[in-house]
Amino acid sequence: MAIFNYSKKTVLVTGGGSGIGEALSKQFAINGANVHILDYNLEMAQQVVEEIIRAGHKAEVHLCDVSNQKQVLEIINSIAAKNSLDVLINNAGIAHIGNIEHTTEQDMDRLYNVNIKGVYNCISAVIPHMKEKGGTIINMASIASTVGIADRFAYSMTKGAVLTMTYSIAKDYLEYNIRCNSISPARVHTPFVDNFIKKNYPGKESEMFEKLSKSQPIGRMGQPKEIAALALFLCSDEATFITGTDYPIDGGFIKLNN
């Protein structure tokens, strides 16, 4: 069901082929946006695009490694040549489990390249286009940006950077009517979570799912559509007074988990 009017807007979603990114892509498309999915997994992203088109909405897919600046620039410039660039959602990201003793240099480089450099690459590519008439940027941060979580050393580092990049972009581009906010989810039920449990706790999937669900005070994991609903509002014309703010969507994790 459409809630906001995005009928004249182009929305770029990185990592839009699965999980939260899939929900984002579908929600913006339902609300009339021309959605462009930039994803490293072309097959999954193409499936999402086909579902969107079958439902009567607009979407395109672009094979993209967000850590590759040349590739990002080429893709975003090609989209901008035919469309206005109204919304960028930096959703693409990868995870790592381990404290500093279990984080190799290769792990650090891998997470930096996607979670930090990838966000930088996409923002730097859209800014020149958005400066012409404004735009909105959402960065997907995490509760790990602001609170300590065990065995998430490298991941927390990258998401802390995403949070502070958000503040910097919002401050530096106020005069160009470019808004930048971030969303910080707690644990969200995505295929990543299911695969993690299956790989690390064979035979105990139900038990671990319940345990992880209850780590949120509200007693369950978030749903991708709930994250998408928040992004849909923050990028809308109804939210034009909002910039430079991080929005936890965490089932009470930050404030109530004590």
The secondary structure of residue 115, as a DSSP letter, is I
The one-letter amino acid code at 133 reads: K
H or E, element range at 256: helix 253-256
Of these residues, 155, 167, 173, 176, which one is catalytic?
155
DSSP string for residues in 12-77: EEETTTSHHHHHHHHHHHHTT-EEEEEES-HHHHHHHHHHHHHTT-EEEEEE--TT-HHHHHHHHH
155 is catalytic: yes
Cα dihedral value 79, 81, 85, 90, nearest 10: 30
What are the C-alpha distances in Å from 201 to residues 103, 105, 186, 249? 21, 27, 21, 27
Q: Would you please indicate which residues are annotated as catalytic (active-site) residues?
A: 155
